[in-house]
């Protein structure tokens, strides 16, 4: 059998184009990677032997090699997030060390590193475009951070650590998924669902049916409540049963913190290994290693921003809690003392009383198909691009997944994206994210051929229940806009070199700029009214609801801001000052940080760190502050539209095109500060962020 026949038989070796999801089975993962890594090893050896310090003799062949790996490995990781199964996990576990081993080998290749440095100091350097120079600079920096300068034992130890860290982060993620799945609350009496909105009651009956209670109905139960967010969140907000809220809350904060799924030892080990990694590379802490490739100049700059925002939000958060306490107490003696499991519930009651609407009342006005129409209408207005359905033109991994095309002003396709909108707790991890399916770049066909980018957009919103479309909470609408913002940066890039196209080579703490920027538009009148129509009657959202949404936008914003500061500060402290083996455990560090970043201190058993996937399984280690860092940029970017005049359609269009041509088009071809200054004409300021959060007066005091 020829090599090409084997390749055609294993879909994971396709290496280019859209993945044929229907044909990708877990049992094909190991054979595919055994073959792929053997071939790549051979290609690497050939490249090392013949490398030339030029774009075509170094960067292009290297890119071809890495793209084959990232295509196949990207598909497997994508399926781990959206179609997790014991068989896939097992295959992933076998293959992951081999992939990490190859990535280390590639990152530490002396001939390739030397060739990059020779290219940088050659005469042809000046002839390279800025994007090409940034790619080369990043390759040199990444090689140094990948241990290219290490010898002997140090290199071996470095590689062993990388391998163990990859394994630990997958294990951490699986533990959280399993612990979330393992807990459920089955309710059988009407009294136990008191206060729950109809949407949650239907969802809970559907969950019970899925768990073999074939006769479960929304009217008569049983109802199954889970720790999956579309179930957990609304239950905490609306259940009048304080005892059940307490039970659910405690299950949530202790996820993956005991028994077989205990993440505590993993956390200690991960932090220990990260510190050792930093030591080997000559950094004092992992935070300093992490910042070496970020936009923030140093840890002090990050701490200064967090402290500025902490001071602006702390007193506002104290006031939030006092008001909530007084509000709850007015309902009776037993609510004098608010507990953690009361905050969401009373927060929602107070919001209803203050602004005279419930989050649930708005759901019928936000069916997913209409929200998509509104979102697509906005991007056409701002950026001149048209989104149309391309369902059926691409293989999908689940029947609910949709596929879309983006076209420019001339009608030519420039990008595509998948949308996987609904929660599937049995196989899909929680949260929402954007991921790269295909990078934009030059194809084999000379200068004219451009490969179009394709993006995965993943949400976990309420699925359609009982014949109704997916009716979204306003928060879910904001989440969709957020992920689409990431997608736009990837899809509207004008950079033709994959290494700096879209989100590639963009400093991590600037990556959230385009996503958070899009959330602001959910509150803008034409955008909101363009999508908010009742799913049964087609009636537009009544004006009074819009006014209430605006009024409620900064409800408890001090508390929300402080919560993000809390997470960011813990992350930084654990990766900067904490050392394993000291008298403090990671949990102690968290409780210490909580003294200045929470108003209601966490319960002693609160094991939030055990489910803090962002920093222990995702890429946010010593980088969680990026949300706030980038929010300063995104608020300031949106302020450019406010200054142009949101009522002035011409000015909005002009500003939108400028934003598209800078923030969205330039990708990683320039430093984010340069990109921002090109768009805004100056460096960013925190004023817009504090103003949007209603915290300006607090900051001024």
Element (H, E) at 629: helix 626-644
Contact 69, 40 (CB under 8 A): yes
Domains, the chain, ordered by start: 3-149 (1.20.1050), 183-255 (no CATH), 260-356+557-624 (1.10.1370.10)
Q: Among 328, 354, 330, which residue's Cα sits nearest to residue 339?
A: 328
pLDDT digits (tens, 9 = 90+) for 635-688: 999 999 999 999 999 999 999 999 999 999 999 999 999 999 999 999 999 999
Polymer length in residues for the chain: 701
Q: Cβ–Cβ contacts within 10 Å for residue 293, how many?
A: 15
φ, ψ dihedrals at 454, nearest 5°: -130, 140
In the block, which residue shows the tokens 């009342």? 361
Q: Cβ–Cβ contacts within 10 Å for residue 633, how many?
A: 28
Give the helix ranges, DSSP H, for 108-151. 110-120, 130-145
Average pLDDT over residues 220-234: 95
**Sign of the alpha-carbon torsion through 571, 576, 579, 582:** negative
Q: What's the rounded Cα separation, in Å, for the pair 179 and 163?
A: 24
Q: What's the rounded Cα separation, in Å, for the pair 652 and 664?
A: 16
pLDDT of residue 700 exceeding 80, the answer is no
The pLDDT mean for the chain works out to 94
- Residues marked active site are found at 483
**Sign of the alpha-carbon torsion through 270, 276, 277, 283:** positive
Of 40-49, 435-444, 689-698, the range with the lowest mean pLDDT is: 689-698
Identify the three-state secondary structure at position 700. helix
Residue 446, pLDDT score: 55
pLDDT digits (tens, 9 = 90+) for 655-669: 999 999 999 999 999
Residue 699, pLDDT score: 42
Contact 185, 247 (CB under 8 A): yes
Q: What's the rounded Cα separation, in Å, for the pair 121 and 134?
A: 14
Contact 463, 425 (CB under 8 A): no
pLDDT > 70: percent of the chain: 97
Q: Among 98, 97, 79, which residue's Cα sits nearest to residue 87?
A: 79
Beta bridge partners of 456: 418, 435
Average pLDDT over residues 97-111: 96
Q: What's the rounded Cα separation, in Å, for the pair 273 and 257?
A: 20
pLDDT digits (tens, 9 = 90+) for 479-493: 999 999 999 999 999
Q: What's the rounded Cα separation, in Å, for the pair 249 and 264?
A: 19
Contact 416, 217 (CB under 8 A): no
pLDDT digits (tens, 9 = 90+) for 116-150: 999 999 999 999 999 999 999 999 999 999 999 99
In the block, which residue shows the tokens 């290609």? 43
Residue 425, pLDDT score: 85
Q: Among 195, 237, 193, 235, which residue's Cα sits nearest to residue 218?
A: 193
The band of 444, judged by pLDDT with boundaries at 50, 70 and 90, is low
DSSP 663-699: IITSTTSS-HHHHHHHHHSS---SHHHHHHTT-HHHH
Average pLDDT over residues 234-249: 97
pLDDT of residue 166 exceeding 90, the answer is yes
Residue 3, pLDDT score: 47
Reported pTM: 0.91
Q: Using the CB atoms, write b or e for 435-467: b if 16+ within 10 Å.
A: bbbbbbbbeeeeeeeebbbbbbbbbbbbbebee
φ, ψ dihedrals at 367, nearest 5°: -70, 140
664 CB contacts (<8 Å, ≥6 apart)?
A: 383, 488, 489, 492, 493, 514
Residue 697, pLDDT score: 56
Q: How far is CA 82 from CA 174, 183, 397, 398, 477, in A?
A: 13, 20, 8, 9, 20
Q: Among 415, 491, 419, 498, which residue's Cα sits nearest to residue 458?
A: 419
355 CB contacts (<8 Å, ≥6 apart)?
A: 548, 551, 552, 555
């Amino acid at each position: 059998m020829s090599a090409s026949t084997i390749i055609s038989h294993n879909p994971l070796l396709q290496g280019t184009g859209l993945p044929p999801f229907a044909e990708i089975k877990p049992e094909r993962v190991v054979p595919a990677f055994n073959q792929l890594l053997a071939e790549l090893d051979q290609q690497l050896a050939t490249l090392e032997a013949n490398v030339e310090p030029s774009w075509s003799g170094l960067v292009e062949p290297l890119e071809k090699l890495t793209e084959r790996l990232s295509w196949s490995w990207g598909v497997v990781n994508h399926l781990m997030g959206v179609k997790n199964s014991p068989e896939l996990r097992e295959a992933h576990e076998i293959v992951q060390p081999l992939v990490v081993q190859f990535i280390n080998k590639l990152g530490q290749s002396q001939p390739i590193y030397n060739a990059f440095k020779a290219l940088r100091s050659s005469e042809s350097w000046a002839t390279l475009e800025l994007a090409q120079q940034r790619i080369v600079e990043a390759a040199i920096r990444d090689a140094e951070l990948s241990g290219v300068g290490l010898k002997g034992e140090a290199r071996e130890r470095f590689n062993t650590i990388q391998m163990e860290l990859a394994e630990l982060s997958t294990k951490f993620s699986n533990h959280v998924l399993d612990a979330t799945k393992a807990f459920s609350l089955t309710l059988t009496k009407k009294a136990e669902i008191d206060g729950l909105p109809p949407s949650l009651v239907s969802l809970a009956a559907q969950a019970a049916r899925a768990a073999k209670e074939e006769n479960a109905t929304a009217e008569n139960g049983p109802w199954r409540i889970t720790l999956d967010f579309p179930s957990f969140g609304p239950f905490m907000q609306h259940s009048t049963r304080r005892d059940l809220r307490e039970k659910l809350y405690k299950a949530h904060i202790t996820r993956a913190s005991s028994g077989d799924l205990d993440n505590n030892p993993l956390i200690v080990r991960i932090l220990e290994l990260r510190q050792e990694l930093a030591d080997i590379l000559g950094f004092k802490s992992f935070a300093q290693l992490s910042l070496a490739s970020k936009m923030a100049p140093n840890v002090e700059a990050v701490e200064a921003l967090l402290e500025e925002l902490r001071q602006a939000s702390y007193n506002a958060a104290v006031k939030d809690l006092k008001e909530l306490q007084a509000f709850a107490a007015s309902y009776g003696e037993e609510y004098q003392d608010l507990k953690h499991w009361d905050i969401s519930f009373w927060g929602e009651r107070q919001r209803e009383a203050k602004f005279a609407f419930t989050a649930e009342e708005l759901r019928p006005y936000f069916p997913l198909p209409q929200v998509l129409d509104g979102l697509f209408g906005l991007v056409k207005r701002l950026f001149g691009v048209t989104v149309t359905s391309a369902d059926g033109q691409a293989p999908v991994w689940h029947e609910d997944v949709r596929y879309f095309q983006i076209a420019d002003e001339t009608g030519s396709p420039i990008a595509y994206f998948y949308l996987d909108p609904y929660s599937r707790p049995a196989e899909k991890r929680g949260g929402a994210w954007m991921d790269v399916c295909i990078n934009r770049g030059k194809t084999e066909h000379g200068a004219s051929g451009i490969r179009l980018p394709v993006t995965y957009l993943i949400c976990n919103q309420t699925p359609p229940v009982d014949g109704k479309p997916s009716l979204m909470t306003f928060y879910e609408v904001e989440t969709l806009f957020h992920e689409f913002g990431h997608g736009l940066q990837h899809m509207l890039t004008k950079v033709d070199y994959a290494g700096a196209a879209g989100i590639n080579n963009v400093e991590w703490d600037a990556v959230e700029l385009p996503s958070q920027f899009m959330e602001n538009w959910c509150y803008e009148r034409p955008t909101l009214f363009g999508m908010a129509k009742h799913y049964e009657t087609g009636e537009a959202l009544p004006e009074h609801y819009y006014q209430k949404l605006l009024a409620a936008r900064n409800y408890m914003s001090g508390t929300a801001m402080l919560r993000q500061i809390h997470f960011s500060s813990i992350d930084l402290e654990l990766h900067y000052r904490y050392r394993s083996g000291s008298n403090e455990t990671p949990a102690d560090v968290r409780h210490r940080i909580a003294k200045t970043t929470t108003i209601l201190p966490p319960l002693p058993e609160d094991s939030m760190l055990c489910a803090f996937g962002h920093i222990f399984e995702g890429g946010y280690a010593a980088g969680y502050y990026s949300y706030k860092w980038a929010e300063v940029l995104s608020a300031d970017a949106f302020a450019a539209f406010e200054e142009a005049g949101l009522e002035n359609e011409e000015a909005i269009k002009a500003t939108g095109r400028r934003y598209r041509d800078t923030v969205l088009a330039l990708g990683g071809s320039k430093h984010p500060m340069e990109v921002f200054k090109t768009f805004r004409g100056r460096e960013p300021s925190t004023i817009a962020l504090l103003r949007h959060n209603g915290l300006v007066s607090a900051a001024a005091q």
